[in-house]
Amino acid sequence: MAPVLGEGYPGRMAEIVNLNRARKARDRAAAGEKAAANRAAHGRTKAERARDAAAERERNVLLDGARLDGPATGKPAPEEPG
């Protein structure tokens, strides 16, 4: 009589694992962790970028208005007659 599975074996049988799937899952998890770290270190939201761009535009307008020479070209402004 042949032994029934589980009888005579000290533990359960191992679960069969597809090594390609396991490797890809491991790589996906590692890439996800790296992406999360990069987002935390370098990422900014679209609203933050827009706010910074608006602040820079305001700063440039203010500085251009305070120039003694012509606007942003670097050439002196033409003298007014009179």
Q: Tens of pLDDT along 26-44?
A: 999 999 999 999 988 888 8
Q: Is the pTM higher than 0.85?
A: no
Higher-pLDDT residue of 78 and 14 is: 14
Closest alpha carbon to 60 in 72, 70, 68:
72
Report the C-alpha gap between 42 and 22 in whole angstroms. 30
Three-state SS at 50: helix
Q: What is the mean pLDDT of the chain?
A: 82
**Contacts (Cβ under 8 Å, ≥6 apart) of 75:** 69
Checking if the pLDDT of 76 tops 70, the result is no
